[in-house]
Amino acid sequence: MTSKTYEPISARRVAFLGLGVMGYPMAGHLARAGHQVTVYNRTISKSIALCAEFTGDSGQKDAVNYAETPRQAVAGAELVFCCVGNDEDLRSVVLGADGAFAGMRSGAVLVDHTTASANVARELDGRAKELGLHFVDAPVSGGQAGAQNGVLTVMCGGDQAAFDTARPVAMAFSKAFTRLGDSGAGQLAKMVNQICIAGLVQGLAEAIAFGDSAGLDMTQVLDVIGKGAAQSWQMDNRGKTMVAGQFDFGFAVDWMRKDLGLVLDEARRNGAKLPVTALVDQFYADVQQMGGRRWDTSSLIKRLK
C-alpha cells in the first residue's frame, strides 16, 4: 500500500459495511486517519482480519471493532459508509430489522459507495428522510489500487449538508470527493464514467491487435503515441499489460457487465442512444464465455487474438 498523508481532523465514530476488495482498504484508511471504526461484513472472517491489523504494536489498538449485524455496527456512529455488490445487497444491509437504518441515530449520514442504480439511491434517500437520517450515493472510480492507496475519485449525489458532513472524513480514502447534484446524481455520473471506459478499452484493444497484425513492436508504439493525442489513463496503465497478455489488475469483467447493465437500463429509461456501449457489453459477454469472468476489463483484447 502506498503511504498516504492524512489531513488533521477530529476523530469520529464511524461504521463501514462491506469489506470486499474495495471496502476492506477503505475502512483501513479511516482507522489510520484516527477514526474509531466498527465494521460489518457478511463473511465475518474478513472483519476479524481487519481488526487484527490494528492490534499489537501498531499504536492503533481497538481502532477497528466488528459487529455481527449492520444494525449493531452503526450504533452510535455519526457516519456510516457502505460498499457492497448491487442494489439487492445494498437493500439487505440498509433496510429491515437488522439493517443500518434501524440502528442509526437521528441525523446520522449513510454514504453508499456501491455502484448501484440511481433508482435505489433515490429510494433509500427517501426512506432515510422519513426516518430523520441522511443518505448520499457516492460510487467510486479508481479500482482496487485506488482503494488500497487511498486515492479514489468519488461522485456524490445528495443533500449539500450531508455531503459537507461526510467529505472531510471520506478524504481518508479519496483524492476527490465531489457533489454532482441531488440524490442519484452520483450513480448517474458513475454510469458516464463506465461508458467512457468501455469505449476506450475497446479502442485500445483494437489498436493493439491491429498493430500486432501489422508486425509493429507495440510496446514501442504505445510509448510513442502515449505522448500524443491518443494518450489516456487506460493506455498508460493497461496498454503494455494488454500487449503482454496480463489481465489480473483488479476490476473484473463480471463487475463491468453489472455496471454496464445499470447503464443500459438507465438509457432505456431516459432515451439515450448507446450503440457502442451496448456492443462492448456483448464483447464482455464473449470474454465471460471464454472463462474470463475474473479477468480485468482490459481482457477485451482476448477476443481479437
Residues 176 and 52 in one domain: yes
Report pLDDT for 60: 60
DSSP secondary structure string, 73-133?
HTTT-SEEEE--SSHHHHHHHHSSTTSHHHHPPTT-EEEE-S---HHHHHHHHHHHHHTT-
Residues 175 and 195 in one domain: no
Residues 31 and 136 in one domain: yes
Report pLDDT for 2: 56
Residues 211 and 124 in one domain: no
Write out the three cell numbers for 170.
Answer: 471520506
Q: For position 172, which CATH number holds?
A: 3.40.50.720
Gap between the Cα atoms of 284 and 293, Å rounded? 9
Look up residue 252 and give its DSSP letter: B
Report pLDDT for 153: 98
Report pLDDT for 54: 86
Q: For position 295, which CATH number holds?
A: 1.10.1040.10
pTM of the model as a whole:
0.93
Residues 293 and 172 in one domain: no
Give a yes or no: residue 42 inside a domain.
yes
Gap between the Cα atoms of 267 and 192, Å rounded? 11
Whose grid coordinates read 482503494?
A: 147
Residues 118 and 35 in one domain: yes
Residues 20 and 103 in one domain: yes
Gap between the Cα atoms of 130 and 135, Å rounded? 11
Active site amino acids = 190
Residues 225 and 209 in one domain: yes
Write out the three cell numbers for 107.
Answer: 441525523
Domain boundary among 134, 157, 182: 182
Q: Which of 86, 84, 87, 82 is nearest to 120 (CA)?
A: 87
Domain boundary among 182, 216, 251: 182
Give a yes or no: residue 7 inside a domain.
no
Give a yes or no: residue 141 inside a domain.
yes
Report pLDDT for 57: 44
Give a yes or no: residue 299 inside a domain.
yes
Residues 257 and 217 in one domain: yes
Residues 156 and 20 in one domain: yes
Q: Which of 172, 239, 236 is nearest to 205 (CA)?
A: 239
Taking only the tens of pLDDT, the chain with its 305 residues reads 557 888 878 889 999 999 999 999 999 999 999 999 999 999 999 999 999 988 754 556 678 999 999 999 999 999 999 999 999 999 999 999 999 999 999 999 999 999 999 999 999 999 999 999 999 999 999 988 999 999 999 999 999 999 999 999 999 999 999 999 999 999 999 999 999 999 999 999 999 999 999 999 999 999 999 999 999 999 999 999 999 999 998 789 999 999 999 999 999 999 999 999 999 999 999 999 999 999 999 999 999 98
Tell me how many degrees the CA angle 274-277-283 measures, rounded to the nearest 5: 145
Give a yes or no: residue 5 inside a domain.
no
Give a yes or no: residue 8 inside a domain.
no
Q: How many domains does the chain have?
A: 2
Gap between the Cα atoms of 114 and 119, Å rounded? 13
Report pLDDT for 217: 98
Give a yes or no: residue 107 inside a domain.
yes
Report pLDDT for 63: 87
Residues 43 and 122 in one domain: yes
Domain boundary among 115, 147, 182: 182
Residues facing residue 111 across a β-bridge: 81, 136
Find the domain containing 128 and state its range.
13-182
Strands 152-156 and 140-141: antiparallel
Residues 144 and 210 in one domain: no
Gap between the Cα atoms of 189 and 194, Å rounded? 9
Write out the three cell numbers for 181.
Answer: 447534484
Give a yes or no: residue 1 inside a domain.
no
Longest dimension (CA), the chain: 65
